[in-house]
Amino acid sequence: MTGVEAALRGALGADRVRRSVPLSDLTTFGVGGPADLLVETRTSDEIVKALAVAHQAGVGVTLLGGGSNVLVSDAGVRGVVIRPRPGGIRRIDDTHIEADAGVTINGLVRWTIMHRAAGLEAWAGTPGTVGGAIYGNAHFNGRLISELVTRVSLAARDGRACDVAAPGLRFGYDRSRLQQTGEVLLAAEFRVGDGEPGALRATARESLAFRKRTQPLDTPSAGCVFQNPEPGRDRLPDAVPWSAGALVDRAGLKGDRLGGAVVSRAHGNFIVNDGTATAADIRRLIEHCRRRVRERFGVELREEIVYLGEFDVHTAD
Ligand SMILES: Cc1cc2nc3c(=O)[nH]c(=O)nc-3n(C[C@H](O)[C@H](O)[C@H](O)COP(=O)(O)OP(=O)(O)OC[C@H]3O[C@@H](n4cnc5c(N)ncnc54)[C@H](O)[C@@H]3O)c2cc1C
């Protein structure tokens, strides 16, 4: 690891590269072991440089955004973890803006409201960054963030960058091409309209209030653990809603606990950390929920959250 560490320090500056950094502090679940090397990049150029250096050294790279949709293993993540921070936002023309990967969705919403740009205000309260939102095609209230995306800048794992128009990203519910290709998001362009800041702020407040009413925001979690089942892909018994949270609820799993991991009583699709959970507790509780829902409804739930690092999966509980 010392070779790649020295090369990264040479390319980006010594202060940007840290060794054995605990990732629990950088994820909303509050669990997870250390990254061998954590690189905090400030620009797209720095992401590209870090990718090229790691590629040349043959060392694996993992991207970490706001850490709000990941479960990091207790053993941590080997190789290099790149964490883009914080990045900039630019107006491209009257109807488009561009945000770097490390910009938080909340920061983006604040910027658009201040700059009278309409379209993103309802995304207020979505944790995480532009990079994570594009990777998983974040959704809220029946809308997908991809509906607002017109173009992105990507880098391949060897650092080669390219621009891709939205149709080339193969967006779907919880899906983008980044999940297959391993490409890294550098920046995304969004379509915006004209807005009056007072009205935009009111919509943002409504979204925040809705989240406060429906989600356990005072306990560490990674939001929804499972994707909702999809018509055409899954089969559900009659009169059962197409909602992972409802399936967990109807299987009687709310409040179930393994170690410090608990199925939220407020929202069946949230697993919360009571402050003592390990990543292994959370992973075991996920398998427990999946098994119980399968036994009860014949549906195989798929994760919305992403696992980073190695897990030793025990399905028995
Ligand atoms: C309380 C709470 C509420 C939530 N509500 C919602 C919601 O309403 N809708 C919703 O969709 N999600 C929700 N989430 C989940 C989460 O906020 C989103 O999935 C978010 O978009 C993840 O962004 P992130 O930056 O935190 O990504 P991370 O969790 O850091 O990473 C997620 C994945 O994206 C990859 N990634 C990150 N950055 C890049 C990049 N630059 N290039 C390539 N890959 C990258 C990572 O490697 C990882 O595989 C919620 C989470 C919490 C904790």
pLDDT, tens only, 176-232: 999 999 999 999 999 999 999 999 999 999 999 999 998 888 999 999 999 999 988
Name the residue ranges covered by the structural domains of the chain. Answer: 2-84, 89-214, 216-317
Indicate the DSSP class of residue 28: T
Quote the CA–CA distance of 117 and 91 in Å, as a whole number: 9
pLDDT, tens only, 202-218: 999 999 999 999 888 89
Backbone CA torsion sign across 302, 311, 288, 220: negative
| Alpha-carbon torsion, ordered 142, 70, 228, 167, to 10 deg | 50
Looking at ligand 1, which residue's alpha carbon is closest to its atom 21? 133
**Shared fold status for 89-214 and 216-317:** no
Choose among 54, 35, 37: nearest CA to 46: 54
Res. 1: pLDDT tops 60: no
CATH class of 2-84: alpha beta
Res. 237: pLDDT tops 90: no
Ligand 1 — pocket residues by CB below 6 A? 28, 62-70, 84, 101, 126-129, 131-133, 135-136, 138-140, 178, 184-185, 215, 217, 221-223, 306
Contact 267/214 with Cβ under 8 angstroms?
yes
What architecture does CATH give domain 89-214? Answer: 2-Layer Sandwich (3.30)
Measured in angstroms, how far is the CA atom of residue 238 from the centroid of ligand 1? Answer: 32
pLDDT, tens only, 56-67: 999 999 999 999
pLDDT, tens only, 101-116: 999 999 999 999 999 9
pLDDT, tens only, 124-171: 999 999 999 999 999 998 899 999 999 999 999 999 999 999 999 999
Contacts of residue 275, defined as CB under 8 A and 6 or more positions apart, other chains included, come to 30, 220, 260
Looking at ligand 1, which residue's alpha carbon is closest to its atom 34? 132
CATH class of 216-317: alpha beta
